[in-house]
Structures are given as structure tokens and as C-alpha cells.
Amino acid sequence: MKSRKNVRLAVPYIKPNYATWLEQWDDHVECVDFTGRDPGELVRDPGMYDALILTGGGDLDPKMYGMPDMAIHCRGIDHERDTLELKLTEAAFALKVPVFGICRGLQLLNVLMGGTLYADIALLYDITCRHKGKQDVIHGVEWTDSSFLYAVGGGLRGEVNSAHHQAIQDTAPGFVVAARSPDGIIEAIEYTGDPGMLCQAVQWHPERMDPENPLSLKMGKLFLDRVRLLRRG
């Protein structure tokens, strides 16, 4: 398995725009939709998949982060999806399979590892820029020169799209904040709890951004470069 040329990505709940974006990373990327599949497949053959991609979607059940009363502020809760993605992510961490999270994916990673969320930032946080509208809105992000985003975008600032009403409240142990919006909302995280585990996540939707924006396609390509380096050992 280690010598195959293609890079196989496990992607639960993949939609066409995600597939298009992921396949632009490289001519040899193969996306496998894990919707309805047995998450144990990742464990039984750890050489079969090179990375796990967690895509956007509905809200996590707030019971998962100890706030069941906030369910009235949540939208699109899907318990079957929660269970599948949690099991896949647990397996990925156990096997050190790289993980990249987008929007909901960032939130799931944070909750899985012991962090919490704002169930509705407009209600619970003093936001000063728009994070959600009928269509994607645009706002700035700032990152540190020690984050994975520095190699992606250079400088310390960029612009991203935004379509979320939830966000990280308490960052999970092992994760560090990689970027914030101007009003302080956490926009990207990366895992530093184990140097052998590659895990990055963003709150924005790179699959819906202009590919020329470095926080879209270039970010994915650099993640893939790191995946290939890890695969080569």
C-alpha cells in the first residue's frame, strides 16, 4: 500500500464541491465517500487511507460538549453522522492518519478532544463582524508566524468566506489556535499534542473560495505535501 501513487482520502458526507476542490489538490487524489460505511474499515487496513477529511454540515448535538439545553439553538443535528465521524476521527488519531477539518469538521475535532462550542455566537459572544448570512460573507483572519497558515499565506492576515453560527469556545487540550477573526472568534486550529499526528482545521469553507486565494487551494496542496511526507516515513 505504501508504494501506490494515488492518495486516498476518506471523506464522509462528501458533496460535489468538496470532491472538486479535493481533487484539485493533485492529479492522483482519490476521494472515498464514507457515508454509511463501517468506520472499522479505517482500522482493519490502516494503509488503505492516507488522510481523513471532515466536511461542513449541520450542528453537533450539544450533549456532546455538556450543554444539552442549547439544542434549541442548533440546526440540522444528525446523530448518525455525529457517531460515524467521531468513530472515524478516533480511529484516525489512534492510527496517526492525518486529519483536515472544515467548518463542522473543526468543531467536531475540538469537541472530540474535550473542548466546547458556542451553540450560537450571535447569542453568546460579542461579535463585531458578520459570520453568517443568506450567502457566504467575507471577513479577515489573522494568524501567527508559528501556525501552519504562515507557510500558506505569508504575512499574518488574509480574507476568508464565512457561513457559521457556532464556533469554538474552549479549545481542546492538545490543540492551539492558528487564526482568529477580527472580533476574536477562533478560525483555525492545529494539533500539537503529538508530533507524529498531523491535524489541521479551519472554520471557513475553502472549497467555496476562489482557488487563487492561498487560504483555499494552496492550503490543501500544502496539507497534501505533508501527508505524502508522512506516508514516505
Give the fold, CATH level 3, of 7-232. Rossmann fold (3.40.50)
Q: How far is CA 179 from CA 19, 26, 183, 201, in A?
A: 25, 26, 11, 10
Beta-strand relationship, 175-180 and 29-33: unpaired
Name every residue whose Cβ is closer than 8 Å to that of residue 135 and which is 6 or more positions away in sequence: 163
Known active-site residue 23: no
Catalytic, out of 85, 187, 190, 207: 207
Known active-site residue 207: yes
Q: What is the pLDDT of residue 154?
A: 82
Grid cell at residue 18: 468538496
Catalytic, out of 131, 139, 164, 205: 205
Q: What is the pLDDT of residue 1?
A: 43
Catalytic, out of 85, 103, 164, 199: 103
Q: Structure pTM?
A: 0.96
- Sorted by where each begins, the domain ranges of the chain are 7-232
Known active-site residue 205: yes
- Strand-pairing partners, residue 130, are none
* Rounded mean pLDDT for each run of 10 residues along the chain, 233 residues in total: 76 96 95 93 88 97 96 96 97 97 98 97 94 95 94 92 97 98 98 96 98 97 96 80
Tell me how many degrees the CA angle 195-196-198 measures, rounded to the nearest 5. Answer: 90
Residue 201 — left, alpha, or beta (φ > 0 → left; ψ -120 to 50 → alpha)? beta
Q: What is the pLDDT of residue 3?
A: 57
